[in-house]
Structure 1
C-alpha cells in the first residue's frame, strides 16, 4: 500500500476539510448582527490586498467600510468588528479540531521515534537487551504549569474534543450542533481564575488524556519489550504546578495546595473505580467477582469522601489485584489477564497522587522569610543559631544551616503573612506525603537561585519546620539569567562539598535535579545566548556532578514558542550529545503546548513516545553530536555577538516606550486568563526586570515581530559573512545537530512574523527608527538563514508545519488588522488628551483585549 507524502495528506485531511466545514460554519447566524459570515471573507480579502499594496490597518478598515458598508453608522461598524472577532476565534477552534482529528493520518503512529519502531529496530540490530537496560533507568517527566498562554476556557476545550470526534466520523449534523454551541459559548473570562480553578482545568487533561495515553505506553513497554510480568521502571510521570507554584502569585496559599492535592487524589481514585467497574463486567467468575465488587465499592466511596472509614492503600490495592490475577491464571485460563495488568500498571504509574505537586518560590522571598525565622530563633536563644549569625560569612552560615534540626515554632506568632504561608506550605508538603504518598509532593523549586546559601536556607527550613527524621523532599535550584547560569557549577560544587547536603543526596539515590529556565534567559540574553548558555551550563554541571558521583537531572523550563525555549522538543533532546547527562528528560509544558502536543490521545501518545526515543537516540548517537573545538569557538562567538546586539537593542531608549505604547503588553492584565499578576513589581512605571516572560514574548508575537525568537541571530551570522568566513558557520551547521535545531526553531519565529502589519510605524516620528532596527535585523536574519541552509524559503524542510502556520496566520489576518486599527485609535485619542474614562477609548481597548485571545490560540503549533 503506497502512502501519500505528508504534505499531500495534510492538504487532503486538513486544508480541504477546513474549507468545506468553514463554508458551513460561515452560514451560521450567531447573533442579531446579520451577514457577518458573508462579510468576513470580503474583509479578509480587503486585508490581503491592502497589505500587498502597503496600506496601513486604519486605511484597510476604512476602505472596507466605505466600499461594502457605507450606510453603517459608527456604532454599527464597531459592532461588526466585534462580530468578526467572535467568528475568527471560532474559526481557530474549527482548525484546531480538524488538525487534531487528522493527527494519526498525518503522523505515522508506528514510524520513526515511536515505541514500536524502537522495538523493531532494536530487535533487528540484536540490541533488545540494551533497549531494556536503557528503559530501566530512563525517565520522561512532563510538568504541567499554569502559565497563561492559552485562552480557551474548559467549556471550549470540551467542545474542541467533541468536534474532533465528530469530524473524525464526518458526522455533519453533530458538527452543526457543535458549531451552534460554539457560537453561544463565551471565550473570555469575566474574572481571573483562582489557582484552584486553574488546577481543575488542567486535571481535565490528566483524567481525559494522560491516564489513558501514559497507561497505553507503559502497558506496551511492559508487555512487548519486557514481557516478564515483573514490575519495571515507570519511565513516564507527571509533575504539576497549579496550586504549588507560588513564584509571583500571591493567590496561592497553603490551603490551595492541600485542596489541589485532595482533588488530584480524588481524580485518580475515580479513574481506578471506573476501571474496576469495567473489569467487573468481565470477571464474572466464582471467587473473583465478589472480590472485584468489594474493591469497586471501596474505591467508589473513597473517591467521593477521602475521610471514609473503609479505605485501602495503593500497595494493598496492587497486592489484591495481583492475588486475583494469580487466581485467574491458575483457575480460569488467564481470561482478561491483560486488562488486570493494565490497571496494575496504572496504579504503579499514578499511585494515589496522579501527578507530583511541585512547590516553587523565589529565593528573595525565602531570604526574607528565613531571616525572620532565624531572628525569632535567636531571640528564643535556640542552640542551633548563635547571636552573631547575621554577621557571619556565607560559608559560616552554610555550615550552621547544614546542622539545623527540628525546632518548636509557633507559626501564628509571626505577623507577616508571607512568613506564615511559607512555613505552612512546608507543613503542607508533609501532610500531602502522608495522604497521597511521597510522590504526592516531594520537590521544592527555588526560582532565581543565585547562591548555595539560597539552597541551604530552604534545606534547613524544611527540617526546622516539618521533617524531623528524614528529609523526603528534593531541593531544586532554578538558574535563570545568563549570569546565574555561568555561576551554577560553582554553586553546585559548594553544595556537593557540604557533608550534610551530600548525605541528603545519598538518601535520595545520589541524584540532584537542577532546573534551567529558558523564558527569562531569552528575555535576559536573547535567543542564541540563552540556548548556548544553558547548553554550556549543562555540560559543566554534568562534569561537576559526575566528579562527585552525583547524577544531574536537568529540568528544562521549555515554554511554547522558540522565544521561550520551545520549538521542536524531541529534536532538541536528541541533539545534546554525550557531554550532557541524559538519564531523564524533564520539561515544563503549558498553555497551547498542552493542547497542541498532548491535547488528544493520539497526539499525547505520539509526542510522549517521541520524547522517550529522543533520549535513546541521544544515547545511541551521542558521539556524533559532540562539538569539535573549532565548532565550539564559532558557536561561542555567535552567541556573544548575538548577546551584545540584543543587549544594545534592549537598552535603546525607545525599547520600553515602544512595548508600552505600540504593543499589547499592558492589555495582557485585562484578559483574565491566569491567576497570577502579569508583572512582579508593584511600581506603576514599567521596569524591564519586573516583566514576566509570557506577556513580554506574547506582545512581540501580537505585533507579528517575534523579536525574542531571532534578534541578534542575523547580526551574528553577518559578522562571519563580512569577514569572508561564512564557511565556518556552514561547517558548524553541518556538524552540530544542536545548532541546526536552534536555527530551525528560529525559522519558525521568522515564519510567524509579518512586518507589513506594522509597516506604518516606520514613518512614525517617535518610533520609526526603532521599528526599522527590528525590521533590518529580521531581513538580515532571514537572508542569512536561507543562505546557510540552502533553502529558497523558510521552513522548507518542514512543509506540513509551514502549511499549518500559513493557514493559521491567514485566519487571524483580519483579527490582527482590527487589533492594530484599535491600537492606532487609542494612540490618537491619547495624543488628543482624552482621559482613561473616555467611552470611545474604552471600546477600542476592549477590541484590543478581545483580539488577543484568537491571536494567541492560533499560534498553537509553536511547540
Structure 2
C-alpha cells in the first residue's frame, strides 16, 4: 500500500510540475512536508496555518486541488490493498473472515440447528439494500470513472506483472489517467437534477449488481438446501434491491408524478435491456443442431412459435426458440417505452421464466445440463431477482402532507369539512370507515389545490407502474414523522383513492400490493412507536390489510433525526428499545415484523460496518429479514465493482442469518440489568446533549459560523434542498448537512457528544461500575459496536483543527463558552472510551488506524485553507477563486474522510 501510495503521489507530483509549473510544485511539496512535520510534532500547527494564510487565492486553489487529488488516489491504493490482503488470506487457506458467508455457514453448522426452527425463522426472508439519493457523494461521475481506470491499471499490474516495453506502456497509461484527473473539474457546474440521480443510481447495476445479486442469491440457496434439504427454504430470492430515487418526496418538491413515471420506466428499461443482452449471448451460444440432438416437443413448439424461417437456423431449434423469446421481450420493452410492440409482449416475468424453463428442461433431456447451468441459469435467476421492474421503488412523504391532502379530499366529498380539527379517535373512526367503501372520494373533475392534485397524481403514477410492471414495482409507502394511527390510515385512504388498495367488499378480503410503512424518527416517536403499531393493529380495517400481505408489517427506523434530536448514545439506545417493544407488539398480534433501517454513511447517521450493526440488533429484531438504506458516498464504496459488492452483500446476508438463527446478544437469560444501565446512561447522555444543542443560547449561531454549513448548501451534490423548511433552528435543518458540516470542521459532534458525561457521571469513580461497563463491552455486541463506532469518530476528530474553525465565530464569549464545552466533553469521552475498552480508540480497527496515520497529514492543509477561505468570503472577498476554493476544500475533505455524510 505504501508503495502504491508513493507511486500515485509521485505521478501526481510530476503532473503538477508539468501542468502548473515549478513554483506551484514547490509550494505543494513544501506544504506536504510541513503538514507531516506538524503530525510528528516537529513544528507548530499555527506556523503552517500562518504560512497558508498568506497565499493568493489562485495559489490556494492549486494547493487545495493537489491535496484533494492525492486523497482520491490514496483511497484507491487503500482499497486495492484490502482486496490484496483478502486474496492472500484466501489463497493461504486462512479461516473465513467474519462477515463472509463461509464463516456464517461454519457457525450455523456448529450450532446443529433444528430444521423446523430454521424454516420458521427464515420464512419470508428478505435482505434489501435500498439506494437513496441523499446527497453526500461529492464526486462527479467523470472523476469516478477516472479512478476506476486507475484501479484497473493497478489490478492489471498485480495480476500479470509488467516489465520492459509493457512497463513503459503501463507507465504511460497511468500518466494519462492522472493527467486527465488533474485537468478534470472536481466540481459540478450545476446542481444534480432528479433525472441525473436516477441515472447515477442505475449505473451500479452495470458496475456490479447485475452480476453479483443473482450470484449471491444462488450461493445462499444452494448452501441452505445442502444443509436442510427438506425445509423448502427461500422459495423466493433473499436478496432484492430497492430504491428511493424518484419516489422520496419528503422535503423534495422536485419529485412529481412525471418523475415517478420516469423512474419506474427507466428501471424497467435497464432490467429488460439486461435480459435482452443475455438472451442475445444465449442465442449465439446455443448452436446445438437437431441433426445431433433431440430436443423436447415443448422446445420444438417454442422454436416454431418464433416464426424464424431462416434456412441457416433450420436445424438449430434453440437459436430459433431464443430468437422468439427475444422478440417477445423486445415487445415488452416497446410497451414500457410507450411504443407499439411488433409482437405479443410478455404479461409478466413469470411468463418469461416459463419459457426459460422450457429451454432448461430440453437441454437436460439430451445430456446438455452443463449448458443449462451456465448462462441460462444465471439469466433465469436474474429475471427472478430483477423481474421487469429492476428494483422496488418506495414512495415516501411527510405525515403532515397526508393530513392536509386527506382533509381536502374528505371536505370535497362532503364527508367532513374539518378533518384536521378532529380528535385522534374521531379521525381513526372516519378513515377506517372509508377503508370499507369502494367509492372514491373525488372524481376527475374535482377542483383541488396544487398540493392535493400533485400528491394524488404521484400515487396514481405509482398505480400505473404497478399495473404495467407488477406488484414488486412499488412495494412500500413510507410515512415520515409518523406518530399516530391516523397517519397510517391516511396513506391507506390515498392508496384506495387510486385503486391500489381494494377494500374487498361483499365478503372478499381486502388487498393492496403496497405496504404502509411508519417511519419513527424522533426520540419521542421511537418511544411511542410500539403503542402506535399496537393501536393500528387493533383497527379491523388496517389489520385486514396486514393479513392480506401475509401477516407482515414493515416498520422503518430513523437514525439521522433521532441522533440530531437526542444525541448519539440516546438515539442508539432509543432505537434498540423501540425494536424490542415493536417485536413484542408484533408477537402479541402474531404478525411478522420487518425493520427498515434508515442508516446514513457516517456514525452520526447510523453508519459503521453493516455486519456489526446487524449483529447488534436486539433478539427477534431481524427474524430473517431487513431492509437498509445505502446513501451518498457509501454507495460507491460498496457497489462500485463486483468484488466490493459481493463482500458487502455477503456481509448483509451473513449477519441476517446469524442474527436470525443464533443467540448473538450475549447477555444470557437475564439481560434486564444491562438494559437498566443503558436506560440510565441514555438519559444522562440526552440531557448533556440537549444542554448544549437545544438549550445553549446562541448555539445555532455558533454552528452556522464555525462550520461551512451555509457554503455547503451551494455545493451541487444533490437535488434535495438542505432544509425541510425555511427557518433558523436545528430542527429545521436536515440531518445530512448537520452531520456533514461537523465533519468538515473535524468536530464530528453528532457521533459522540454527551456520551462522555453520561459514562463519567454513571461510573462516578467507582471501579466496580467501570468493570461492569468493561464486561458489557466484552459480552454485548450492541454496546461494543456503539463504542467501536464512536471510537472511529473520535479518532477522525481533531480539536486542534476545530479550534481554528471556532475562531470564525465573531462573538468571543459565545465561541469560548460553546467550544469550551465541546473541548471538555471530547476529552471526557476519549478518556472514558479508553477506560472501558482498555485500548486505544482504534484498537479494534488497525486498518483504519494505519489509514489515519498515513493519510491524515494530507488533510491538514485542506482544513487550514478552508478556514482561511471561509474567513475571506465572509469578510467580503467574494472572488471566484475564493468561492471555488471553499467548495473544492469541502469536496477534498469529504473524499479524504470517506464516511463523512
Report the TM-score, using the length of structure 1 for normalisation: 0.90
- Residue of structure 1 equivalent to 2:197: 198
- Residue of structure 1 equivalent to 2:101: 115
Please give the per-residue CA displacement for 1:299-324, whole angstroms capped at 9, x wherever unaligned. Answer: 45654663341322311210111001
- Residue of structure 2 equivalent to 1:46: 34
Say if 1:713 and 1:54 are closer, same or farther in 2 by CA, change over 3 A. farther
Q: 2:794 aligned with 1:750, yes or no?
A: yes
Other structure's SS at 1:26 match: helix
Q: Does the Cα contact within 8 Å between 1:575 and 1:625 map onto a contact in 2?
A: no
Q: 2:748 aligned with 1:706, yes or no?
A: yes
Deviation at 1:189, TM superposition (A): 1.3
Select 2:842's aligned residue among 779, 795, 800. 795
Other structure's SS at 2:20 match: coil
Deviation at 1:761, TM superposition (A): 6.1
Q: Does the Cα contact within 8 Å between 2:349 and 2:383 map onto a contact in 1?
A: yes
Select 1:851's aligned residue among 884, 889, 894. 889
Other structure's SS at 2:236 match: coil
Distance in 1 (CA, whole Å) between partners of 2:789 and 2:889 is 26
- Residue of structure 1 equivalent to 2:314: none
Q: Does the Cα contact within 8 Å between 2:76 and 2:151 map onto a contact in 1?
A: yes
Report the TM-score, using the length of structure 2 for normalisation: 0.87
Distance in 2 (CA, whole Å) between partners of 1:740 and 1:693 is 25
Say if 1:412 and 1:535 are closer, same or farther in 2 by CA, change over 3 A. farther
- Residue of structure 2 equivalent to 1:401: 431
Say if 1:450 and 1:439 are closer, same or farther in 2 by CA, change over 3 A. same
Q: How does 1:240-319 map to 2 (within 5 A)?
A: 240-286=243-289, 287-300=317-330, 302-303=332-333, 306=336, 307-309=339-341, 310=343, 311-312=345-346, 313-319=348-354
Deviation at 1:760, TM superposition (A): 4.3
Deviation at 1:748, TM superposition (A): 0.6
Other structure's SS at 1:555 match: strand
Deviation at 1:192, TM superposition (A): 1.1
Q: How does 1:409-808 map to 2 (within 5 A)?
A: 409-410=442-443, 413-467=446-500, 469=502, 470-618=511-659, 619-622=661-664, 624-625=666-667, 628-650=671-693, 651-683=695-727, 686-724=728-766, 725-760=769-804, 765-766=812-813, 767-791=815-839, 793-808=840-855
Deviation at 1:408, TM superposition (A): 5.8
Other structure's SS at 1:682 match: coil
Larger mean Cα displacement after TM superposition, 642-651 or 812-821: 812-821
Deviation at 1:167, TM superposition (A): 1.1
Q: 2:354 aligned with 1:324, yes or no?
A: no
Please give the per-residue CA displacement for 1:161-182, whole angstroms capped at 9, x wherever unaligned. Answer: 2222111012433322221222
Distance in 1 (CA, whole Å) between partners of 2:445 and 2:185 is 43
Deviation at 1:217, TM superposition (A): 0.4
Unaligned segments of structure 2, at least 5 residues: 91-95, 158-169, 290-316, 503-510
Q: Does the Cα contact within 8 Å between 1:88 and 1:811 map onto a contact in 2?
A: yes
Deviation at 1:468, TM superposition (A): 5.8
Say if 1:273 and 1:807 are closer, same or farther in 2 by CA, change over 3 A. farther
Distance in 1 (CA, whole Å) between partners of 2:221 and 2:318 is 24
Say if 1:297 and 1:573 are closer, same or farther in 2 by CA, change over 3 A. same
Other structure's SS at 1:399 match: helix
Distance in 1 (CA, whole Å) between partners of 2:887 and 2:321 is 57
Q: Does the Cα contact within 8 Å between 2:475 and 2:513 map onto a contact in 1?
A: yes
Distance in 1 (CA, whole Å) between partners of 2:60 and 2:99 is 45
Q: Does the Cα contact within 8 Å between 1:27 and 1:38 map onto a contact in 2?
A: no
Deviation at 1:122, TM superposition (A): 4.3
Deviation at 1:25, TM superposition (A): 2.0
Q: 2:239 aligned with 1:236, yes or no?
A: yes
Other structure's SS at 1:673 match: coil
Q: Does the Cα contact within 8 Å between 1:140 and 1:611 map onto a contact in 2?
A: yes
Distance in 2 (CA, whole Å) between partners of 1:624 and 1:559 is 26
- Residue of structure 2 equivalent to 1:69: none
Query: How many pairs align?
Result: 822
Deviation at 1:208, TM superposition (A): 1.8
Say if 1:606 and 1:105 are closer, same or farther in 2 by CA, change over 3 A. same
Deviation at 1:802, TM superposition (A): 2.0
Deviation at 1:731, TM superposition (A): 3.0
Q: Does the Cα contact within 8 Å between 2:794 and 2:830 map onto a contact in 1?
A: yes
Say if 1:270 and 1:760 are closer, same or farther in 2 by CA, change over 3 A. closer
Please give the per-residue CA displacement for 1:781-822, whole angstroms capped at 9, x wherever unaligned. Answer: 11111111110x211121012222444423322211110121
Distance in 1 (CA, whole Å) between partners of 2:858 and 2:672 is 46
Other structure's SS at 1:244 match: coil
Q: 2:313 aligned with 1:334, yes or no?
A: no
Other structure's SS at 2:843 match: coil
Say if 1:812 and 1:265 are closer, same or farther in 2 by CA, change over 3 A. same
Please give the per-residue CA displacement for 1:14-45, whole angstroms capped at 9, x wherever unaligned. Answer: 23211122212221148853133443231122
Larger mean Cα displacement after TM superposition, 471-480 or 22-31: 22-31
Deviation at 1:206, TM superposition (A): 2.1
Q: Does the Cα contact within 8 Å between 1:662 and 1:823 map onto a contact in 2?
A: no
Larger mean Cα displacement after TM superposition, 339-348 or 620-629: 620-629
Deviation at 1:101, TM superposition (A): 3.0
Please give the per-residue CA displacement for 1:270-289, whole angstroms capped at 9, x wherever unaligned. Answer: 11112222222321113212
Distance in 1 (CA, whole Å) between partners of 2:872 and 2:878 is 13
Say if 1:128 and 1:181 are closer, same or farther in 2 by CA, change over 3 A. farther
Q: Does the Cα contact within 8 Å between 2:99 and 2:654 map onto a contact in 1?
A: yes
- Residue of structure 2 equivalent to 1:81: 60
- Residue of structure 2 equivalent to 1:6: none
Say if 1:648 and 1:430 are closer, same or farther in 2 by CA, change over 3 A. same
